[in-house]
Amino acid sequence: MKTHRRIKIVVLILDILMCVFLFFTYGPISYFRTLLITTAMTTKSHHYLARTFYSDDLINKVLSENYISEVGENTNLDEINFDSIIETDKYESEYEKQILKHNKDDVYKIFEISGTGYKGFVAAIYDASRIELVTTKYLKKQGQFLQTIAKENEALLAINGGGFIDIDGQGDGGTPTGTVIQNSKILFEGADTGWGGGIVGFTSDNKLLLTKESSSSALSQGIEDAVDFGPFLIVNGKRSVIKGNGGYGTSSRTAIAQRQDGIVLFVVIDGRQPGYSLGVTMSELTDILVRYKAYNAVNLDGGASSSMVENGNIVNKPCAVSKTGERWIPTAWIVK
C-alpha cells in the first residue's frame, strides 16, 4: 500500500514538473522561449535543444527580434592615451576604485564580480606591453587546456581567445575560426564558419585594435597579435545597439577590452551552472564593460571555453565536461 502511494506521489510530481516545463516552453511568457532559442542557437553544437521544441519559422522569428547592430567604425588608436592615469586616493565610483587602487609595481590585479544570476572575474592589466597571443602547440591539429597553454608559456595570467571548428560538438580545439596573427605574421587564415566577427588584437604600441577589414589591412595598421571573433560590443566609447538579449542568450562569457587610459580588461563570467552562475547576455556583458569604462571591447569565445588562469591555477569555474572544467582551445591571451 505504501509503495503504491509513493508511486502515485512520484507520478504527480512528474506531472507537475511537465506542466511547468510546458508552460515555460510553450506558454504565454515569451522570455523563457526566447532565452532557450537564443542560447541554443548561438552554441556551436546544441541547436537541437531549440529545434526539438520549436519550428524553424519560430526560431528565425525569435532570432530576428534579438540581435546586435555593431558600431560601424574601426578603433581610433589616437584616442588611447597611456599618460592619462592620475594617481589618487579619491575615486568617482566603487568600480573605478576596483580598477585603479593597486600597488605601484602591480602588472595586473584580479577581482571578483557578481550580479543577478552570475559570478565572474575581472583582471585589470596595467602594462599592456606584457600581453601576448599564444596558441596550442598543436595548432591546426589539436587544442590544449588554457592551464596547459599558460604553463608552457610561463604566463602570469591567461584567458581563452578565439573560437574553433566544432562540428557536432566533437571539435578538438585545434582549428581556429578566422584569422590568427602572432608576432605580425599570419599563422592561420580561413575556416570562418560564421563564428568570426572581426579582427581583434594589439598593435606594436600596445593598443587594442578592432577592425572589420582584412588581415593585411590590420597588419598595415601595426597589429602584432590578433584573433578573429565578435561581436564588437564597444568601439571608440560607443555601445553596439542590442535588441532584446542580443540573440546570444545567456551563457558563460569571455571579453577583452581597453580603457581610454590604456588599461586592459580581461573579463570572464561563469555560466551554465544553476545554483552558482548561469552567465550573462551580451547586453549584460556590455553593461559590465561600460561600468569599468571600457572604450573598446569585444566578446571572445564563451560557453565551455571561458576560463581564466593565474600562475598556473584556474581562477574561475569553467563548465566543460573535463576534470578541470576546461575545454581544448586554439588560442589564448596571456600576460607575461
Per residue in 289-327, pLDDT tens? 999 999 999 999 999 999 999 999 999 999 999 999 999
Is the pLDDT assigned to residue 2 strictly greater than 60? Answer: no
Domain that holds residue 327: 69-335
Same domain, yes or no: 145 and 270? yes
| Mean pLDDT computed over every residue of the chain | 88
31 with 78, same domain: the answer is no
Classify each residue of 96-131 as buried b or exposed e, where b means 16 or more C-beta atoms within 10 Å of its C-beta: eebbbeeeeeeebbeeebeeeebbbbbbbbbbbebb
- First-last CA distance in the chain: 69
Shared-domain flag, residues 160 and 38: no
What pLDDT was estimated at residue 37?
80
Q: Are residues 200 and 82 in the same domain?
A: yes
Residue scoring higher pLDDT (6 or 200): 200
For residues 60 and 195, state if they share a domain: no
Assign 77 to helix, strand or coil. Answer: helix
Closest C-alpha to 69, from 242, 301, 213, 263: 242
pLDDT at 171: 73
146/91 same-domain check? yes
**What average pLDDT does the segment 236-254 reach?**
94
Dihedral sign (CA 179, 281, 41, 174): positive
State which of 65, 81, 99 marks the end of a domain.
65
Of 65, 94, 114, at which residue does a domain stop?
Answer: 65
Cell of 273: 551552472
3-state secondary structure of 209: strand
- pTM of the predicted protein model: 0.87
Same domain, 85 and 109: yes
Same domain, 60 and 87: no
157 and 171 inside one domain: yes
Judge whether residue 330 has pLDDT over 50: yes
The per-residue pLDDT for 38 is 83
Tell me: do 55 and 175 sit in the same domain. Answer: no
Predicted pLDDT at 42:
75
Alpha carbon 88 to chain centroid, angstroms: 32
Q: What is the total count of domains within the chain?
A: 2
Which of 58-67, 181-190, 215-224 shows the lowest per-residue confidence on average (mean pLDDT)? Answer: 58-67
Q: How far is the C-alpha of 143 from the C-alpha of 160, rounded, in Å?
A: 11
Identify the bridge partners of residue 203 per DSSP, sorted by sequence position: 223
Q: Looking at 17, 35, 65, which one is the last position of a domain? A: 65
Give the Å distances, CA to CA, from 20 to 15, 31, 191: 9, 14, 42
243, 67 contact by CB (below 8 A):
yes
Q: Does residue 13 have a pLDDT over 50?
A: no
Indicate if 16 and 96 belong to the same structural domain. no
DSSP E strand stretches across 167-240: 180-182, 185-188, 199-203, 208-211, 223-228, 232-235, 238-239
pLDDT higher than threshold 70 for residue 170? no
